[in-house]
Structure 1
Amino acid sequence: MQILKNNSSQVVIEAKNLRKEYQGKLALKGLNLEIGPGEIFCLLGQNGAGKSTTINLFLGFIKPTSGAAYINGLEVASNVTRIKESLAYIPENVMLYPNLTGIENLSLFSSLAGFKYSDKELRQYLENAGLPAEAAPRRVSGYSKGMRQKVGIAIAVAKHAKVLLLDEPTSGLDPKASNEFSELLLNLSNTGTAIFMATHDIFRSKAVGTRVGIMREGELVEVLPASDLEANELEKVYLNHMHL
């Protein structure tokens, strides 16, 4: 298939003939993809389509069977430590230390990335990410999923991440929390952050995506500009591919 490329001359996230095989079964079939700064690329697909495998390859959690994943021009498989310097990851359930406060989590993760902030600066990052001021000094064990995600966004901003990878970030969020999360992603994209989001959420993909890709059985079967379709039209295109 012909892949619709990003409109930027720069490529921040890239896959070149990326393949992953598990016990003789192809989970990812020669993925080719380019994502530029400020883009939000939303990848739709059913469970087992290869979305999480793609993210894990970009994170360096697993190695490709063939082909390569790149972050900021660096091949991920041979530069796992270096790519983490410019990358942030928000999984379906954000992994934070439950016995630490929001401020303490942000301080810890930003310091691991080489940044040291004052208490005032940490609070400002959390506030800018939409976390209520009264929640910042509370233990994360009492946070909702939406609140944990806001800490995750604050961590990404505080470590000056140029790449944000997300795996089903809106799963389980109520409409208000989903909308707030979408606004945070749009704000991040406006700063030049390249965002790759694997999701089931067709409406959210239309609302925030620059481009939307549809993955089926490990293959990227279509890529569309999000602005070209209404949400109901995108849903029809998606369902047509799932029923082939």
Structure 2
Amino acid sequence: MHSTDLAVSASATTLAATPAVPRLAARGLTKRYGDVVALNALDLTINAGEVYCLLGANGAGKSTTINLFLNFVAPTAGDARVCGIDVTQDPLQAKRHLAYIPETVMLYKQLSALENLDYFAGLAAEAPLPREQLMAHLRDVGLRDEQVHQRVAGFSKGMRQKVGIAIAVARKADVLLLDEPTSGLDPKASNEFSEVIGRLRERGAAVLMATHDLFRAKESGTRVGIMKRGTLVAELATADIGHTDLEQLYLTHMHD
């Protein structure tokens, strides 16, 4: 074998051995407001194709975690990284990989689902997306063709969530941050939401979802973390636990 072949072979071996950069990573991530610790030294890693559900009561630190990854607030200590990018050091570059879907998706009510998608996807795209591609994204998230052309002023919360996810898909976001996305949804809409999240996971997206919904966390998530008073107190794979046991574990940790 020639020396150049050896160099190429060694390089390929090195690349193969290099672990993939996590889509989301927190290291010692902490947020204090005076004497109040909103988030306490969180260590968290979420890879491509994972759906991580953060469970906890109000004030547990779930939304604070998402806000820190979005750089909406600055950490007191530690760091948050999106695709290896420190969100405080290079926030614009980090946000290029992100899509954020809050509890209530804000859309232009007088525009149709298609027009909203065209507008918001166009903000991130180098060139306008073809109409058929936009239509395909909306169909993929479960909107019917007649709904695509309706003004979103008449949409249910579940339908607005679908438009929000279509925007994330059109932007080719590597990471989705979801804050109580199933709150207020009826069982059918909540189940449809889980199906859409499953398809995004299969495409390689990483999802961090803050939720109170234990059933949906079990159905949608690949891992769950339980937070209490700003601290991650338990973490496990959803495949390793049933609905009843997850509920019991959650209640045990929530008990004072």
Decide: shared fold, TM above 0.5: yes
| Percent sequence identity over aligned pairs | 54
1:40 corresponds, among 48, 51, 59, to: 51
Q: Aligned to 2:177, what secondary structure does the other structure show?
A: strand
1:157, CA displacement in angstroms? 0.7
CA contact (8 A) 1:10 1:37 kept: no
CA contact (8 A) 2:49 2:205 kept: yes
CA contact (8 A) 1:52 1:198 kept: yes
More off after superposition, 183-192 vs 113-122: 113-122
1:119, CA displacement in angstroms? 1.9
Q: Which residue of 2 aligns with 1:78?
A: 89
CA distance in 2 between partners of 1:80 and 1:113 (Å):
15
Kindly indicate whether residue 224 of structure 2 is the aligned counterpart of residue 237 of structure 1.
no
Q: Which residue of 2 aligns with 1:4?
A: none
Q: Which residue of 1 aligns with 2:166?
A: 154
TM-score, structure 1 length as denominator? 0.95
- Runs of at least 4 residues off by over 3 Å: none
User: For the pair shown, which has the larger CA radius of gyration, 1 or 2?
Assistant: 2
CA distance in 1 between partners of 2:191 and 2:138 (Å):
17
1:10, CA displacement in angstroms? 3.7
Q: Aligned to 1:203, what secondary structure does the other structure show?
A: helix
Q: Which residue of 2 aligns with 1:221?
A: 233
TM-score, structure 2 length as denominator? 0.90
CA distance in 2 between partners of 1:85 and 1:96 (Å):
20
Q: Which residue of 1 aligns with 2:12?
A: none
CA distance in 2 between partners of 1:64 and 1:43 (Å):
19
CA contact (8 A) 2:103 2:180 kept: yes
CA distance in 2 between partners of 1:136 and 1:86 (Å):
26
1:9, CA displacement in angstroms? 4.5
CA distance in 1 between partners of 2:150 and 2:221 (Å):
33
2:129 corresponds, among 117, 123, 140, to: 117
Q: How do residues 177-216 of structure 1 correspond to structure 2 at under 5 angstroms?
A: 177-216=189-228
Gaps of 5+ in 2: 1-18
1:198, CA displacement in angstroms? 0.4
1:223, CA displacement in angstroms? 0.2
Q: Aligned to 1:135, what secondary structure does the other structure show?
A: helix
Q: Aligned to 2:182, what secondary structure does the other structure show?
A: coil
More off after superposition, 134-143 vs 216-225: 134-143
Root mean square deviation, CA, Å? 1.1
Q: Aligned to 1:78, what secondary structure does the other structure show?
A: coil
1:165, CA displacement in angstroms? 0.5
CA distance in 2 between partners of 1:160 and 1:171 (Å):
25
CA distance in 2 between partners of 1:99 and 1:78 (Å):
37
CA contact (8 A) 2:74 2:88 kept: yes
Name the count of aligned residue pairs: 237
Q: Which residue of 1 aligns with 2:66?
A: 55
Q: Aligned to 1:187, what secondary structure does the other structure show?
A: helix
Give the letter for the 2:66 counterpart. Answer: I
Gaps of 5+ in 1: 1-7
Q: Which residue of 2 aligns with 1:145?
A: 157
1:85, CA displacement in angstroms? 1.2
Q: Which residue of 1 aligns with 2:143?
A: 131
CA distance in 1 between partners of 2:219 and 2:32 (Å):
33
CA distance in 2 between partners of 1:68 and 1:214 (Å):
20
Give the letter for the 1:194 counterpart. Answer: A
Q: Aligned to 2:40, what secondary structure does the other structure show?
A: strand
2:32 corresponds, among 8, 21, 24, to: 21
